Chains A and B, each alone.
Chain A
Amino acid sequence: MTYHIGVDIGGTFTDTICIDSENGEVRLSKVPSTPENQATGFLNGLSATAIALPDISWLVHGTTVGTNATLERNGAACGMITTRGFRDILELGRRERPQLFGLFGEFRPLIPRDRRVEVTGRLNAKGEVLEDLDEREVEEAIRTLQARGCESLLIGFLHSYANSSHEERAAAIAARLWHNPYVTTSSDILGEFREVERFGTAAVNAYIQPKIHRYVSRLRDSLRDAGVPRDLVIMQANGGIMSVDMACRRSVSTVLSGPAAGVIAASYISRLAGYRNVITCDMGGTSFDVGMIVNGEPIVTGDRDLDFGLPMRIPIIDIHTIGAGGGSIAHLNEAGILKVGPASAGAVPGPIAYGRGGERPTVTDANVMLGRLSSERLLAVSDAIDRDKIMKAFGDTIGAPLGLAPTQAATAVLRVINDAMAGAIRAVSLQRGLDPREFAIFAFGGAGPLHGVALARELGVPTVIVPYVPGITCALGCIVADVRHDFTQTVSRAVDDLAEEDLAAILARHRKAGEEILHHDQVPIERTEVLHFADMQYEGQTYTVRVQLDPAALNVAALRDRLAKAYQERFGITLTQYRPKLTNLRTTVVGIRPSLDLKRIVAATQKPGSFDEAVIGHRDVWFDESWVNTPIYDRAKLPTGTRLSGPAIFNQMDTTTVVEPNTEIVVDDFGNLIIKVN
């Protein structure tokens, strides 16, 4: 037996999926996360699958250690050495306030002012040296920061994207004098202009590096002691995986990697199912994450902020998050307008239905009221649900002031939350000029399959895919992800002035660096794929548009053409009278992993039985203004190839799928529910 294991640690649960690569047998576990030391939850999850650890052949892990340390501001004591005159860049930021209205709020920089030291040495925007780096000052700065208790060091100089020699020189001095390997240079993390963003992204790296290093090292040791023969592999926010050594060097790549893994799994599963344009909808207890897959590839962005004043400019899978989940609380605002979320009842006290002291009506409660969730039992709770209490809460807080019966109030709450989620989907698709009606919805997470079909109807999306194990999609994403490394180089020159051989040289350098890392990582791959992109704009603009490049046709005319086409598509305007400019060249080097046979998972886990045996009961569900007697199916017993019509409810260990009337459902060869919405 050789097991492939994916472990995703979320805020509430640690999910583990374990697949026997020989016979396709799957084991799942869901155990509480242990925020104080995530390694404990990790090991608990592993032992809950009851496999023999020496049989593990592949172990991939998505961690939130870095994300949490940054958001909660409990990362390393970190020092910064920077260009004279600019030590406050991280604190000045882009001169913003946390919200447009209301002059309140605060910002705590990751590196406080007394740990930011300036040294002499200056470059200009072309990378020319205006003033030599004063190496003696660098040495002095290092000693000062050590005396002030810094554990980790960031070196960030102005214009280092154009010439990294000063940063490299300072790093070489630090390699000699710094008391540990935690030294980050801004140009190594991001070869891109815009000092706030480059320094900011590199600061996240320096801030979490010691924590990530300690965490994965400890985990690695525990696994080795437990007899796991293979090294751990770590998930990245760009949807790829990397070695533990890389994770310790480029720790910032682990931030936001959990949701990215979900999109990777979605793209993998839907590609097999025959869908290449997909909107991923991950709905949990507190948040709703939307991602987009276009032509089989998840959309990647380099334009996110982790939090107010904390830019993250490395390429990450573009996921738009709103505060909408099962726990979202329904209430009326001062104008008497119904609002749902963003406040969430969380896991404690949770929805009223959980019976843990929750008093305020939530989305989960509305689903119970309307028969969409079983009122006998919920996954998260063992006791019977107090339906009367829920009904009273809806009646008192929503129904009475709005003149609605409790059922109508619950319907209104679902409509508002579905609309908010549909709005998020519209925002991410229409902004890119993509029409959601040309996509399929891939619904996962604990609550995604409850709402997926309703969302599709709201948006006019024709197809909904509910994967075989929706609640554990992120963990599965860890297993199916490829190895992935990104490189950026700012060029910032008019297209007319470019020498094609210079561009080719940059791309070749990226490619070589990527291939070297793949070689060093020693993660088994089948082949290597290299993708090139350009960020372009018209001279004078500040925003850029990203286009994919064909390295075989890397010439001025092609670049000009790509930009014109992108503008016409996105904004419906032609700007060809302006000079096109190439801002950044980007390369992604992908090590393609051997593929996983999902059919064998279905074959190995399906319970034997006929369609009739899959029907486990009926209950009344509120659809379109009336109660409809709806069949309930045990999903694990549904044979592949089954066809049926909605309405229907599918129960399974980790979620409930609700399918509205006027729909056709197929269970495909991979165990997915493919739902056609008429």
Chain B
Amino acid sequence: MANLNIDPATLTVMENALRQIVDEMDLALERAAFNPVMSQARDRANGIYHKTTGEVVAQGDTGLPIFVGVMQYAVQSALEAFPDLEEGDVVILNDPYCGGTHLMDVKLVRPFFYNGRRFACLANCGHWTDIGGNVPGGFGVRATEIIQEGVRIPPILLARNGVIREDILTLLFANMRVPEERRGDLQAQFAALNVGAERLRGLLDKYGDSEVERYMDELRERSETQMRAYIREIPDGIYRSEAFLDSDGIEPAPIRVALSVTVADDTLDFDFSGSSAPVKGPLNGTLSVTFAAVFVALKHIFPEVPINAGIFRPVRINVPEDTFLNAKYPRAVSGSSAEVSLRVVDAVFGCLGQAVPDRVPANSFGSVANFTISGYDPEQRKPYIMFRFSGGGYGGHASGDGLTNANSPIGASRTTPIEILEQQYPILFDYYRIRERSAGAGEWRGGFGSEWQIRLARGEAVSSVLGDRGRFPPTGLHGGGEALPTVVEYRRGGAPYRPEHTTKDEGVVLRDGDTARISMPGGGGFGNPFRRDPHKVLKDVTNGLITIEDANTQYGVVLTTDRDACRIDEAATRQARGGRVP
């Protein structure tokens, strides 16, 4: 398999160098960004792409997973619109139907020139906390057309010959909330492209452009070979699964993801035929999101494969145009990137979990519960938009329990500290804690969800939430139990209020002292709970994560208490488990 014109050491050096360039771009973007979603939650990604095909050449180690898959489609749209990009040009876009996610994810694409020739494209994507539209933060759950969701930017030239076209920014920012912050975020994205161009130039100075190009081609071939080798490990066959979203926020009907995966030798074929039709509300997916979610799921199953265009080649994905996973203009899509995508990941896991059970965990919590509260702070005398994702449990897996309060499988976001949120916004947290009893039981149980409640400290505010798993909780695998569903509850003037669509609402008006609570699901359990080590069950009880009754009913472990101490009743446990104590 060795290509004689390829020096093995140089190949490794090149692979590391390209990835390092993107890592530095990611870091620059994170450090210079203004909004915490980009800087703290790392809702951003950078990459290097092929000069004409737009295929991904290299991604960083910390780029947001779902963007990693989406970005090459965005670059391709930019190149399609402007095939003759020149040095100093920068394309901006956020159009969901042209390689996008939801409108808040704004992409910049910059051709990179070396010795007067276009060598590659550099691009990045960052989540802006507002993009205009009906609802601050962009998650309008009543939106039925994209026009209501915010400003749609098809690929346009933001900079020409190194000069930013300020009139475009004036127009854009005139239609967004908190425009100064938007400008700062945009500058951070430019800064990251600057860093990338400088580093890439350094690499080309050292090795020469044709040499680097040759190695980039070789790396793509190698990734393809590696991906095919992994696919060959999966037993041939047709695997089917389905997964459901609660509703679209408008109609009560559940939304179905239907997937059939055909494994044949070293190729994988994903077919989403039979999935629900496009929906009225914002729970549509776009083609690029569906594609990206499939690759994120594959990468979680085979984390060793480096990301470049090579891994896409042995994979075919069919998403019929009459399904909600391939929505067209003017369908609303704000729930695409963090909710629809997660259900696509579940469906992929559902199929491949049958084929390679050791590599696939049970369902994760599967929703980030996009929560927004906005208003005018009378004390700081300025408007604000606070945005918060939430974490939940991962599913149990063949070698252990799921993580508690992990970030979403399609994301890499970290939570913003309470001490920062309480300082920046007129809110107080009543609690932020592990949600007890939220994990699915199993030989390896799921991780636990988180749970928090905030209280408006002053002024009046409006809140929206766009989540999922209110009706379809994470399921277990191989006999494991299901987790608790998401709960969203407001208290206004002391009276509880739960959204009709459980996890989706907007325009919820809050006054001083009113509260909002989000309780997140845990992960599904893996394997029969009666096979779980009783000492692990006891430990969960002493830690207050499950009750003594749960131990008995879910795990068949009988515990007796003697003042503060709790111990296993071996005989009763054996009996409860039908003599099958491991």
Residues of A within 8 A of B (CB): 84-89, 91-97, 99-107, 112-114, 124-125, 130, 147-148, 158-159, 161, 193-197, 333-339, 401-404, 411-413, 415-416, 419-420, 423, 426-427, 430-431, 492, 538, 540-543, 567, 570-573, 575, 577-578
Q: A100-B62, A124-B428, A125-B419 are in contact. Are A336 and B184 (CB under 8 A)?
A: no
A446 nearest CB across to chain B (Å)? 24
Q: Are B32 and A86 in contact (CB under 8 A)?
A: no
Residues of B within 8 A of A (CB): 1-2, 4, 7-13, 15-17, 20, 23-24, 27-28, 30-36, 39-40, 61-62, 65, 180-181, 183-184, 187-188, 190-191, 194-195, 199, 222-223, 225-226, 229-230, 299-300, 303-304, 306, 361, 364, 391, 394-395, 397, 399-407, 409, 412-420, 422-423, 428-434, 450, 542-545, 564
- CA A467 to CA B64, docked complex, whole Å: 44
The listed residue (A89, A339, A426) touching B12 by CB distance below 8 A is A339
| Best-surrounded residue of A91, A100, A105, A572 (most CB of chain B within 10 A) | A100
Q: Are A538 and B9 in contact (CB under 8 A)?
A: no
- CA A287 to CA B430, docked complex, whole Å: 45
- CA A3 to CA B1, docked complex, whole Å: 62
Q: Besides A91-B404, A195-B417, A423-B16, 15 other CB < 8 A contacts?
A: A95-B406, A96-B407, A101-B65, A101-B303, A124-B428, A193-B417, A334-B230, A335-B225, A336-B222, A416-B12, A423-B17, A538-B34, A540-B35, A540-B184, A578-B180
**Chain B contacts of A85 at CB under 8 A?**
429-433
Q: Are B434 and A91 in contact (CB under 8 A)?
A: yes
The listed residue (A104, A197, A573) touching B361 by CB distance below 8 A is A104
| Best-surrounded residue of B27, B28, B35, B405 (most CB of chain A within 10 A) | B405
A544 nearest CB across to chain B (Å)? 9
The listed residue (A147, A334, A541) touching B304 by CB distance below 8 A is A334
B305 nearest CB across to chain A (Å)? 8
- CA A335 to CA B2, docked complex, whole Å: 11
Q: Are A86 and B432 in contact (CB under 8 A)?
A: yes
**Chain B contacts of A575 at CB under 8 A?**
184, 187
Closest 8 CB pairs of A and B: A85-B431, A125-B423, A335-B226, A101-B303, A95-B391, A415-B9, A412-B9, A335-B222
**Chain B contacts of A538 at CB under 8 A?**
34, 184
A320 nearest CB across to chain B (Å)? 13
**Chain A contacts of B229 at CB under 8 A?**
334
A102 nearest CB across to chain B (Å)? 4
- CA A130 to CA B13, docked complex, whole Å: 57
- CA A128 to CA B393, docked complex, whole Å: 35
Q: A103-B364, A193-B423, A194-B420 are in contact. Are A95 and B405 (CB under 8 A)?
A: yes
**Chain B contacts of A107 at CB under 8 A?**
403-404
- CA A194 to CA B407, docked complex, whole Å: 19
B272 nearest CB across to chain A (Å)? 22
Give the total number of A-B pairs whose CB atoms are below 8 A apart: 217
Q: A541-B39, A543-B31 are in contact. Are A97 and B407 (CB under 8 A)?
A: yes
Q: Are A338 and B300 in contact (CB under 8 A)?
A: no
**Chain A contacts of B23 at CB under 8 A?**
427
Which B residue's beta carbon lies closest to that of A198?
B419
Q: A103-B394, A333-B304 are in contact. Are A158 and B418 (CB under 8 A)?
A: yes
The listed residue (B412, B416, B422) touching A100 by CB distance below 8 A is B412
- CA A124 to CA B4, docked complex, whole Å: 66
19 A-B pairs whose Cβ atoms sit less than 8 Å apart in the complex: A85-B432, A85-B433, A96-B406, A102-B303, A103-B397, A124-B428, A147-B564, A159-B422, A193-B420, A195-B419, A334-B230, A337-B222, A419-B9, A420-B16, A538-B184, A540-B35, A543-B30, A577-B180, A578-B184
Q: A404-B8, A543-B39 are in contact. Are A103 and B300 (CB under 8 A)?
A: yes
Q: Are A401 and B400 in contact (CB under 8 A)?
A: no
The listed residue (A91, A104, A112, A195) touching B397 by CB distance below 8 A is A104
A632 nearest CB across to chain B (Å)? 27
> Interface on chain A toward B: helix, strand, loop, or mixed SS?
loop
A404 nearest CB across to chain B (Å)? 7
**Chain A contacts of B407 at CB under 8 A?**
95-97
**Chain B contacts of A104 at CB under 8 A?**
361, 397, 399-400
Q: Are B8 and A412 in contact (CB under 8 A)?
A: yes
- CA A124 to CA B40, docked complex, whole Å: 22
A334 nearest CB across to chain B (Å)? 5
Q: Are B406 and A114 in contact (CB under 8 A)?
A: no
Q: Are B12 and A337 in contact (CB under 8 A)?
A: yes
Q: Are A103 and B2 in contact (CB under 8 A)?
A: no
**Chain A contacts of B361 at CB under 8 A?**
103-104
The listed residue (B9, B223, B400) touching A416 by CB distance below 8 A is B9
**Chain A contacts of B9 at CB under 8 A?**
338, 411-413, 415-416, 419
Q: Are A401 and B2 in contact (CB under 8 A)?
A: yes
**Chain A contacts of B40 at CB under 8 A?**
542
**Chain A contacts of B15 at CB under 8 A?**
337
A171 nearest CB across to chain B (Å)? 20
Q: A107-B404, A416-B12 are in contact. Are A88 and B433 (CB under 8 A)?
A: yes
**Chain B contacts of A103 at CB under 8 A?**
300, 361, 364, 394-395, 397, 402-403, 406, 409
- CA A572 to CA B190, docked complex, whole Å: 10
Which A residue's beta carbon lies closest to that of B301?
A102
- CA A66 to CA B330, docked complex, whole Å: 59
B458 nearest CB across to chain A (Å)? 11
The listed residue (A92, A105, A401) touching B434 by CB distance below 8 A is A92
**Chain A contacts of B199 at CB under 8 A?**
430
Q: Are B406 and A87 in contact (CB under 8 A)?
A: no
- CA A11 to CA B353, docked complex, whole Å: 41
Which B residue's beta carbon lies closest to that of A572?
B194
Q: Are B417 and A194 in contact (CB under 8 A)?
A: yes
The listed residue (A95, A336, A542) touching B2 by CB distance below 8 A is A336
Q: Are B405 and A93 in contact (CB under 8 A)?
A: yes
**Chain A contacts of B33 at CB under 8 A?**
541, 543
Which A residue's beta carbon lies closest to that of B190?
A573
B168 nearest CB across to chain A (Å)? 18
- CA A426 to CA B188, docked complex, whole Å: 22
Q: Are B414 and A419 in contact (CB under 8 A)?
A: no
Q: Are B406 and A572 in contact (CB under 8 A)?
A: no
**Chain B contacts of A334 at CB under 8 A?**
226, 229-230, 304
A262 nearest CB across to chain B (Å)? 25
A588 nearest CB across to chain B (Å)? 23
**Chain B contacts of A540 at CB under 8 A?**
34-35, 180-181, 184
B234 nearest CB across to chain A (Å)? 14
Q: Are B406 and A419 in contact (CB under 8 A)?
A: no
Which B residue's beta carbon lies closest to that of A94?
B414
The listed residue (B32, B300, B406, B434) touching A101 by CB distance below 8 A is B300
**Chain A contacts of B397 at CB under 8 A?**
103-104
B444 nearest CB across to chain A (Å)? 10
Q: Are B225 and A95 in contact (CB under 8 A)?
A: no
A158 nearest CB across to chain B (Å)? 7
Q: Are B13 and A92 in contact (CB under 8 A)?
A: no
Q: Are B419 and A194 in contact (CB under 8 A)?
A: yes
Q: Are B13 and A415 in contact (CB under 8 A)?
A: yes
**Chain A contacts of B230 at CB under 8 A?**
334
Q: Are B191 and A573 in contact (CB under 8 A)?
A: yes
- CA A430 to CA B34, docked complex, whole Å: 22
Q: A97-B407, A336-B2 are in contact. Are A196 and B417 (CB under 8 A)?
A: yes
- CA A572 to CA B198, docked complex, whole Å: 11
Q: A91-B405, A336-B222, A543-B31 are in contact. Are A430 and B303 (CB under 8 A)?
A: no
Q: Are B24 and A430 in contact (CB under 8 A)?
A: yes
Q: Are A338 and B12 in contact (CB under 8 A)?
A: yes
- CA A114 to CA B564, docked complex, whole Å: 11
- CA A87 to CA B544, docked complex, whole Å: 12
Q: Are B429 and A106 in contact (CB under 8 A)?
A: no
- CA A430 to CA B409, docked complex, whole Å: 31
The listed residue (A402, A423, A567, A572) touching B8 by CB distance below 8 A is A402
Q: Are B415 and A95 in contact (CB under 8 A)?
A: yes
The listed residue (B13, B16, B400) touching A106 by CB distance below 8 A is B400
The listed residue (A84, A105, A125, A573) touching B422 by CB distance below 8 A is A125
Q: Are B2 and A402 in contact (CB under 8 A)?
A: yes
